[in-house]
Amino acid sequence: MKICIYGAGAIGGYLGVQLAHAGADVSLVARGPHLAAMREHGLKLLIDGEERVAQLRCTDDPRELGPQDYVIIALKAHSVPSVLDAMQPLIGPNTAVVTAVNGIPYWYFYKHGGALEGTTLESIDPGGRQWRQLGPERAIGCVVYPATEVVAPGVIQHVYGNKFPLGEASGERTERVEKLSQLMIAGGLDAPIRENIRDEIWLKLWGNLCFNPISALTHGTLDIIASDPGTRAIARAMMLEAKAIGDKFGVHFRVDVERRINGAGAVGAHKTSMLQDLERGRAMEIDPLVSVVQEMGRLANVPTPTLDVVLALIQQREFMTQPDAVAAAQARLAKAA
């Protein structure tokens, strides 16, 4: 079984080592020092007190790899549109595309039913390019729960978790999703097949859409955000707005708001991925985690006043981290005056 992991960072690298351990023919698309280190020394995974090293085919040119049985997209979701053209050599007539990304995926309204069947979401798929170039019929949903980290080029540290729920947009147990689940389980991963993968997507997104931007704005860790009355109230309001949207689309939330917030707080002094990206000067996953919820609220005619405010603030925060952004903003103010 040929599997290409596009984006062999923390999660992609973890998956690569585990799937190779299960006997899959795994290749990785990466770049920079991380790619160079993997080519020279293999990909090292630090997990359960041991080191697992996999010698995998690594490249920054997907044309070297050819069509795959599965392409697992393990990039930050906002990075996917920029690599669609490069990804095409990996796509054959029977290739499945596994969206192991945070937030709402491009295929969300494929086989969804109702008035919005076939709708594309501009905030995450501008111009519907993912829908056209990857194809919603190829997609297998995958929700990522583990925490991993690239601690050095070519070295992945597993922190906790091994769960990757999978599911078809239609809810069917197809041969391709069952084969993938079996392979992942053989690699030591927990990969249950869900009849409604959208419920699982929303459950994770429910926390990400509020904790991530609040943390980037305040620099608070999960325990602080969940325990401080002010930030907890903001998170709760955003989650209730999102739940009203999900309810309109038939989403089942299997836990209540308070339990979801308490669960996040129990993780402890953890920095969210958005805060980590901010501190490292990287682009933040604002659109897949927050903007898309606002867009879906508009589609469902559900108001999102708290989310709107937090989204405006985090967008401004990101803008002000860009080169020359402060000077440009000051120039616009001066001109307006």
For residues 116 and 260, membership in a common domain is answered with no
> Lowest mean pLDDT: which of 86-95, 244-253, 272-281?
272-281
Q: What is the pTM of this model?
A: 0.92
Catalytic residues, which ones? 204
Contacts (Cβ under 8 Å, ≥6 apart) of 218: 224, 225, 231
Its domain, for residue 259, covers: 198-323
pLDDT, residue 320, reads 83
- Does 327 score more than 70 pLDDT? no
Give the pair of three-digit tokens for residue 18.
């585990």
Whether residue 333 is contained in a domain is answered as no
For residues 162 and 240, membership in a common domain is answered with no
- Does 312 score more than 60 pLDDT? yes
Q: How many structural domains does the chain have?
A: 2
- Compute the distance between CA of residue 294 and CA of residue 287 in angstroms, rounded to an integer: 9
Is-contact 58 169, C-beta < 8 A? no
Of 146, 168, 195, the last residue of a domain is 195
Distances (CA, A) of 44 to 11, 18, 52, 67, 242: 13, 11, 6, 26, 39
Give the pair of three-digit tokens for residue 328.
């440009």
For residues 184 and 212, membership in a common domain is answered with no
- Compute the distance between CA of residue 3 and CA of residue 26 in angstroms, rounded to an integer: 5
For residues 268 and 154, membership in a common domain is answered with no
Whether residue 163 is contained in a domain is answered as yes
| Portion of the chain with pLDDT greater than 70, in percent | 96
| Portion of the chain with pLDDT greater than 90, in percent | 89
pLDDT, residue 106, reads 97
Distances (CA, A) of 52 to 17, 39, 47, 82, 320: 8, 15, 8, 32, 41
